[in-house]
Amino acid sequence: MPPSSVMLVSMIALASALTVLTLVLLRGLPEPDDPDASFKISYRDLVDVKFVVFCMCASVLLGFVTFLRPEPIWVVYGSSVLVLVACDARTTWLPNSIMHLCWGLTALALIYQAFSMGPASTVGPLLGAACLGLFFFIAWRLSGSLGFGDVRLSLLVGATAGTLGLDGCIFSLLFGTIAAAVWGLVTAARRKRKPSPLGKAFPYGPGLWLGPYLGFLAGLLASA
């Protein structure tokens, strides 16, 4: 088997393993001690066959995109962080335990990257995490329309977008914001026909998470 094929299979296998780990941990989480949590599907019921199949298939497909990027942080982003935002999409909750797992795995990926690609390769991800984290923290403080979970998620998004350089980071933020806005409009339209106890609240995380992938694809198209 050619070295490139071995690398692809290895990355997909690692992403699949991280996805399974995160799904198992998510299913075993206790429910939030919050009155609003009574409206959400339980984590145990959330992680059903359809949810598992979706996350596993998406992780494998994203593995082919990850293969085009040399940074290991993309493996974490397309597996554990994928499960985190899929949970947000279904429940509007970003569990702290899974968020902390994603932070830890991202930190390990950056440490590995520093040794394998040189310390300078981690400057972009660290700056991206700091800049997007600060941006969303300010937006959270001023607007009141964001949950603090989105601020925490922005650190992961920024670190991944930071591997694309300054332009890629800007496009990731732009496309992620547009994707989240479209998600919100679709959610609002659906709830006009079928009201929800969540009211106008909708998950911002999935759109934000898509940003780096859309920014990466935009870069590929621009260089084609």
Domain encompassing residue 75:
5-222
**62-66, 131-135, 192-196, 217-221: least confident range:** 192-196
Using the predicted structure, report yes or no on whether residue 201 has a pLDDT greater than 70: no
Average pLDDT in the chain: 89
Banded model confidence at residue 137, pLDDT cuts 50, 70, 90: very high
Give the tens place of pLDDT for each residue, 19-61.
999 999 999 999 888 776 667 889 999 999 999 999 999 999 9
Banded model confidence at residue 197, pLDDT cuts 50, 70, 90: low
Banded model confidence at residue 70, pLDDT cuts 50, 70, 90: confident
Mean pLDDT of 202-206: 86
Q: Which residues contact 28 (CB under 8 A, 6 or more apart)?
A: 43, 44
80-91 vs 205-223: helix crossing angle, rounded to 10: 130
- Between 142 and 105, name the one with better pLDDT: 105
Q: At residue 69, what are phi and psi to the nearest 5 degrees? A: -110, 135
Q: What is the DSSP letter of 94?
A: -
Number of structural domains, the chain? 1
Banded model confidence at residue 138, pLDDT cuts 50, 70, 90: very high
Distance between CA atoms of residues 95 and 32, nearest Å: 8
What's the confidence (pLDDT) of residue 221?
Answer: 84
Beta carbons of 198 and 89 less than 8 angstroms apart: no
Question: Which tokens belong to 221?
Answer: 């198209």
Whole-model pTM?
Answer: 0.92
Distance between CA atoms of residues 41 and 63, nearest Å: 29
- Between 127 and 38, name the one with better pLDDT: 127
What's the confidence (pLDDT) of residue 195?
Answer: 67
